[in-house]
A = this chain, B = another copy of it.
Amino acid sequence: MREAEVPVTFQPSGQTVYVLRGTGLLEAAADAGIVLDQPCGGLGKCGKCRLVVPRGACQPSPAEVEVFSADQLQAGFRLACQSSVSGPTTVEVPASSLPASYQKILVRAEQAPLAVADPVVRKRYVELPLPGRGDDDPDLLRLEKALGPFEVGLGLLREIPAKLRQAGFRGTAVLSGGRLMDFEPQDTRAESFAVATDVGTTTLVASLLDLNAGSDLAVASRLNPQTQFGDDVLSRIRLVREAPDGLRELNETIIRAVDEMIGELVERAGIRRERIYELTFSGNTTMQQLLCGVDPSSLGEVPFVPTAGRGPLLPAAELGLHVHPRAMAWVLPVIGGFVGGDTVSGMLATGLAEAQGPTLLVDIGTNGEIALSADGKLSAASTAAGPAFEGARISCGMRGSSGAIEKVIVDGRLRTNVIGNVPPVGLCGSGLIDLAAELLRHGLLTPEGRLRTTDQLPDGVLPDLARRLVVHDGHAAFVLASETETRDGSPLVLTQHDVRELQLAAGAIRAGIVLLLQRAGLQPQDLRAVLIGGGFGNFIRRSNAQRIGLLPWQIPRQRIRYQGNTSLAGARLVALSEQARRTAEELARRTEHVDLSCHPDFQRAFAEAMVFPGG
């Protein structure tokens, strides 16, 4: 699908992503789920997002020349915020470029080489005394003398006598929390793996983790095959409510996909499935319930009630996943029906609760999720942006896949970037934001969201823009690509209706932000940082998102920071650290869930937010 993209491999994790030439390294890293530290907000000043591009690095930017020595530049040192991908390449990510929540893990790993921080799964190699005259300790007590107390299930209880004897009472105990999972012959400590999965409505991303090093061995991603049953969570909830087999079908579809991804990961890393002892899952509330086979019907009607609040710990085998037969799966806790485990993951991975000064975490999607940390208090809300950013309800809209115009720049004339370097087929969310921002800047669009007709244009509008204005269904419209430029011979036109849809989507998120801030007695300009999580957010241009009012425009652009796939990052953390699980539980329960639809000011705030800044 993305034939013209080039591979970028990140080391030491070995993840490979495919991106267009010219994509910034920060974006490529985010695409691979790697969040880089960028305290200066991507201005190339702090030097924190340093990477090493051993071969084929771009020419250094002035900022990079400032930050690095000549030797370093020669060795391939670059700043992710300043460099872009010029061809297939390999990039080394130093641990120091990862934000604190990652570093903590890695630092601890250095202190205790056999244990990454405090993973739930621990392996202990033991050589037990052999039973003999005067030593008739029961098998499990013999093990407990070496390991401390643990619990054991029926399966292992039945297997343990033979396992111990076949191994000559020497081997590796696998413990998960307070439970003995297995006893493996010989020293298998080096082989201890987990899989962290981001269960997105649209995309599934799974990362195979080495529990000793805390590093990723492989990452797999694919379209969530549930999309065949409906693009958004509401259509899937509807299927469950209406089709007798709907829940089973949706559950089996996603379980099969995750199981296949696990197969892909173990094959790529050359490990055995039974060496995966732990699974973690992060997704929105509906996706998490569908993954667990829990009826999400109550999420489809007011007041949108989830089933579990705390994160359930479930046997992977009961879920239908083929890893170690006694592996457990932990699903992230949720805050509400539309503020799910992925938001909790984001709060966890970005350290939102410890942020200095008022900080917002925003995940832009069909449902925008917004979390605010201010004065030690956490609040979160979701807001129904609708599917405009995914291309739906936009006349020439499409997903961010091959053929999508994903970038629009006005640089003397209108220029576009098309995913896959093919003739354009449509306009995806990031391109839509770009286009609207440029039209606002150049006076083709009023702050109220009206496309001007040719005769209403202000003076000095660029000819290349002015000539693209047409009349469509009695309203002004803007031609992005003519018949001759597109793949299928139809022009790509932004209509007045499309602008209204964008206003609704951006307005919903902006209204949510405004109300959350208002409840905390804050103004947008008080924000020290706006963290962008979720898949889509990492592909938008910050300045353009500010221009259309999707993100607060009252703050400097560098306070807005891409965080990559924070849902996956959170799932990784809870696979590596028991403390992270407790923190996730605390975050979910500490966070006040604000129901915007109940908020008396929501309609007014929403109406106001529909107007673009400057209006």
A interface, CB within 8 angstroms of B = 131-141, 144, 149, 151-155, 157-158, 160-162, 165, 292-295, 297-298, 302-310, 312-315, 318-319, 334, 336-337, 593, 595, 598
Q: Are B336 and A293 in contact (CB under 8 A)?
A: no
A334: chain B residues at CB < 8 Å are 138
Return A167 CB to nearest CB of chain B, in Å.
14
- Contact A139 to B306, CB < 8 A, known contacts A157-B314, A293-B158, A318-B154: yes
- Contact A307 to B140, CB < 8 A, known contacts A158-B292, A295-B161: yes
Bound Cα distance from A294 to B164, whole angstroms: 13
Q: Are A154 and B297 in contact (CB under 8 A)?
A: no
Q: Are B306 and A154 in contact (CB under 8 A)?
A: no
Q: Are B298 and A161 in contact (CB under 8 A)?
A: yes
- Contact A308 to B139, CB < 8 A, known contacts A161-B298, A295-B161, A598-B134: yes
A292: chain B residues at CB < 8 Å are 154, 157-158
Q: Are B153 and A314 in contact (CB under 8 A)?
A: yes
Which residue of B136, B161, B310 contacts A593 across the interface (Cβ within 8 Å)?
Answer: B136
Top 9 A-B residue pairs of the complex, sorted by shortest distance between their CB atoms:
A141-B309, A138-B309, A136-B303, A138-B306, A154-B314, A131-B305, A154-B318, A139-B307, A140-B308
Which residue in chain B gives the minimum CB-CB distance to A135?
B303
Pull 15 A–B residue pairs with CB atoms less than 8 Å apart, ordered by A: A131-B305, A133-B303, A136-B304, A136-B305, A136-B595, A139-B307, A139-B308, A140-B310, A141-B310, A152-B308, A153-B314, A154-B292, A158-B294, A158-B295, A165-B298
Bound Cα distance from A158 to B292, whole angstroms: 8
A313: chain B residues at CB < 8 Å are 151
Return A155 CB to nearest CB of chain B, in Å.
8
A308: chain B residues at CB < 8 Å are 138-140, 152, 157
A295: chain B residues at CB < 8 Å are 158, 161-162
Most chain B C-beta atoms within 10 Å of own C-beta, residue among A144, A298, A313: A298
Which residue of B139, B157, B158, B314 contacts A305 across the interface (Cβ within 8 Å)?
Answer: B139
Return A342 CB to nearest CB of chain B, in Å.
16
Q: Are B138 and A305 in contact (CB under 8 A)?
A: yes
A304: chain B residues at CB < 8 Å are 136
Bound Cα distance from A568 to B161, whole angstroms: 28
A310: chain B residues at CB < 8 Å are 140-141, 144, 149
Q: Are A138 and B303 in contact (CB under 8 A)?
A: no
Bound Cα distance from A139 to B336, whole angstroms: 11
Most chain B C-beta atoms within 10 Å of own C-beta, residue among A137, A292, A307, A318: A307
Which residue of B144, B157, B162, B306 contacts A312 across the interface (Cβ within 8 Å)?
Answer: B157
Which residue in chain B gives the minimum CB-CB distance to A140?
B308
Q: Are B133 and A315 in contact (CB under 8 A)?
A: no
A161: chain B residues at CB < 8 Å are 294-295, 297-298, 307
A151: chain B residues at CB < 8 Å are 313
Return A591 CB to nearest CB of chain B, in Å.
13
- Contact A134 to B294, CB < 8 A, known contacts A139-B307, A151-B313, A308-B157: no
Bound Cα distance from A161 to B306, whole angstroms: 9
A306: chain B residues at CB < 8 Å are 136, 138-139
Which residue in chain B gives the minimum CB-CB distance to A335?
B138
Bound Cα distance from A141 to B157, whole angstroms: 33
Which residue in chain B gives the minimum CB-CB distance to A314?
B154
